[in-house]
A and B are shown apart, each in its own frame.
Chain A
Amino acid sequence: MLRIWVLAVVVAALALGAGQAGAGELGETPMFCVNAGELGLAGSPPDLMASVFERGRWRPARIYIEPENVTFVLVPLLTGNNTEVSKAFHRGALPPPVLRNETKICVEAAPGVPRTRPPGHGRLVELERRGAKHHVLIARAADVADPTAFDLAMPRTARGEKPDKTRWHEAGEKPPAQPEADVYTISLAQTLNFWASFRLHRATATVGPGGYVEAVFDLPPEARDAAVVLTAGTTPGRYGYAVYKGPVLIAAGSVTVYQGQIQTALAWLGGGGGTYRVRIYNDNSHRSEIYTEVLTNVENRQYFRNDVIRTPRLIVLLALPRYAINTHLIRNSYLAVPGFIVDAASSITLRIYVKAPPEAVQLGDRLLVYWGGLYLGELRGYRVDAYTMEFNGVVTVPPSLLIYLLPTKGLGGVISVGPLTISSPTVFTIEVTAAVRRPQELAAAGNDVYAKYVRRASETFLFLDRRTYMAKLEIFSVVREQGSERYLELSTMPFSDMLGSFYTKVRFYVRFYDSSLRPVNIVVAAVGHEGVQTVSWWGQVLKNISWWRGEVLKNIPFLSAALGLYDLVKSTYDALRRSIQSFPVVGYVTFLLDSFVQAASADVKISVLNGHILVIELYTGWYNDPLTTRIITSLDTPPAYFAVTGVEYFVDGVWRAVYRVDVPAWPFTTVGVVGHSAPSGGFAFRTLLCGAQETLNSPSVRCDPAYFR
């Protein structure tokens, strides 16, 4: 018996050891660990990326930064006065905000010396170990020209060899600055360079040992690059792959997915449109869950679309959680705001306002901004008086980070600001607004796909004050020969295990414009709307009753179009939650698509203000479940643009204004082109409506997984 136990312990130890093994132990390129000071990186922010030159090309190299323990403070849980404070504190790990001399950096290095120019500006590090020379290029995220050749630094304590000698010199050229005018000009259609991600529905499954999954997808001819990516949630282990473009095998090999890895690119496929077929083999001896996304970089003519995700100005009273009473002080705390979901973007701009007592700000006059575990940049603050410091600034997400944000739909969706020291009790104010300049579809403007319902823009209001849910207003439109049809959809997505959405109101002010940006008059506020729908246990019961089933199914089509993407986001986030502990990932409550019922106590009111402003007011009633409603408005002339020019919310007896403008103010106003010229051939796949690619014979206004590719 004892022998069996000893054997079991040995096996367990070996298994654990294998789980922690760096690449060096797995017989790949060796892992080296050096102090940041030796690389001249002391004082640098932690947004490092690494690349090595191997077999004639630069490829991503894994890089880890020794993290420090931090506390994420989930802001919405502290806006009420009777919430469970302890739930708001999430222990995590981030790389130090400023690398210290002794911060350990572990990086994969390839043998030899590179012969071509590096794909970005950074430090070319030469490492010598037992006479053998190795090299790696370490660059900051903003200095990376070709992000596909780099891997982003992850916070983790890794193991590796200590080099005998370390030398480095600056190498490569910085990428050209992004053309800004392009981003802020409103036009019907313009050339846009963007990254987008979508799920390979048929290659996301559980596979037995030796089994495989296979999926087909199409990329438009303007695709400049694309990758098949395994995202977090994929069981760690080894996977083989083969990618065909048409009948031609263009990539094959195998990759290792490590524990806690956000994503692992199977292969970069290069540019060019066409039909791709990907097959992923489970090379492990255990059943594996596989989550597959396609990430692509496209440059084509796009209808204008600018989405905004905004929070109100949140005032939080931070008292200490129970476990910190002995220390009376929490260092390295980050205010965390959830709800930032993105699946495609050309550029993302964040406007952040923070008010904090000066003694709480650890870095003097600086606050750092993170999205998930990714460092985005810093905010500079100034002292208002002896007791207050204000930070009000704009942070642009470095384009090289988009490839890490998109496949996981925003990496858990949490934006954090810190580090702060919380000495009990302290009052903070925070407001975050994200502007996402993005494509309407993968296909270029005017393609066939616009003859089906396509999401033209969406405004997300993060209701995080005393309640926690997203209120999302989206416009869907379809182009016809004789004009366009459109409808607005308003839905709520509560965060799971948080406060819920009950007894609140939210009001959106919407305007339509013609092609020269003159307001279009509204004839009838609501030609039709089906009332507010929800799903609940009684819906589950009722759907099994035959006379009711017809009623339920009648309502499905429009409901699933808006919310299909969020079922997918939910499954992505649930998988991410299981595998990532170093930063918070917030879950959502979503639907089963076939059990909707009328939400009796919820209500939507639609009215017209001044003849041209549509006012949509949703009352959530007692529901914590998601709600959704569709509105069709009649206008006197066909509109070209749609914009959300105001948001207000009502909670605990008071109306509060969040945002109000008369004309779109850049870039923090949601604007979309609502259909223009009639479609003429081209890319025949809808991709960004449901988060998975559909063929054009799929149902027009719903997301049906049966039609996903």
Chain B
Amino acid sequence: MTRLTSADFRFGLKTSLFLYLLNVPFYLVYVTGLYVVPPIYLAVATTFAAAYWMACGLYRVPVAAYSAVLAAVVLDIVAPPSAVFGYTPVALHWVVFTAPAALLALVFYALAFGRGLWRLVSLALLLAAVVAGHLYLLLAGVLWRLAVPPLPALPPEFPQPQDLPLYVVLYELWRKIHQRPAIRRHMAAVGYSHGTPPGRENRRDGARDGGDQRRLNIRPVELRRTNCETT
């Protein structure tokens, strides 16, 4: 057992702050009554995954996915599908089409880590992290709610500011599960993380890593040192 330090929660804190930042527009449209039907929860769900990758210092894919979802929310307000298709047997919202795709893209983004089978391991571990995180929120959420009341203006599906500690732990859980040493090693091999000494990865696959970096638009490793690095 390793001893927990405040450094352990830096990642969780950063991710949670990203989470709140990404949700600001959704808080606004909900509180103003512009968008109150459940599909907006799909948009909120994508922010959970987007915040994780952004906290890792990876911006392009999460921002692209998030922008698509945000655009769909705005479009739902100004020109909902009913304005195009008229009365439909089920209620359609642009978010219903966009958000699941965005969410899938953000989950499958885990395939970008590692090589060969390790990509699949990365995906599997991220999925495991999501499932574990969900169970954690279900169980811890109940106890937490006993002590901390929800904000009445927001539905329970939205991340609420007073629940910050809950989300810090959630993302630490994600990190612990997803960023296993094996994943880290392979992440490092493609230049994502620093679980292994810098010299080794460069010596082993330098040229190819550079290729991966260009293909995936990966920015220099150093930027991410404080983000996804684990102890």
Contact = CB atoms under 8 A, between A and B. Distances in A.
Interface in A562-581: none
A497 B77 CA distance: 20
A637 B198 CA distance: 79
Contact of B37 (A496, A502, A536, A623): A502
Contacts of B86: 497
B149 interface: no
A113 B230 CA distance: 108
A500 B96 CA distance: 17
B88 interface: yes
B87 A500 contact: yes
B155 A500 contact: no
A652 B155 CA distance: 11
A307 interface: no
A81 B96 CA distance: 22
A537 B89 CA distance: 9
Interface string B20-38: 0000000000100100111
B91 interface: yes
A624 B91 contact: yes
A503 B89 contact: no
B90 interface: yes
B167 to A, nearest CB: 22
Contacts of A498: 87
Interface string A472-502: 0000000000000000000000001110101
Nearest to A625: B89
A622 B38 CA distance: 9
Contact of A500 (B33, B38, B91): B91
B87 A502 contact: no
A500 B91 CA distance: 8
Interface in B68-83: 77, 80
Contacts of B91: 500, 502-503, 622-624
B87 A652 contact: no
A145 B69 CA distance: 67
A502 B33 contact: no
A624 B87 contact: yes
B33 A623 contact: no
Contact of A624 (B77, B90, B155): B90
B142 to A, nearest CB: 20
A247 interface: no
A338 B52 CA distance: 50
Interface string B91-108: 100001000000000000
B164 to A, nearest CB: 23
B89 A623 contact: yes
Interface string B44-75: 00000000000000000000000000000000
Contact of A496 (B30, B80, B87, B155): B87
Nearest to B155: A653
A502 B36 contact: no
Given A81-B33, A652-B33, A653-B155, A497 B38 contact: no
B155 A502 contact: no
Given A503-B38, A653-B155, A625 B33 contact: no
Interface of B: 30, 33, 36-38, 77, 80, 86-91, 96, 155
* Across the A-B interface, the 3 shortest Cβ-Cβ residue pairs: A502-B91, A652-B36, A625-B89
Interface of A: 81-82, 496-498, 500, 502-503, 536-537, 622-625, 652-653
19 contacts: A81-B33, A82-B77, A82-B80, A496-B87, A498-B87, A500-B87, A502-B91, A503-B37, A503-B38, A503-B91, A622-B90, A622-B91, A623-B89, A623-B90, A624-B87, A652-B33, A652-B36, A653-B30, A653-B36
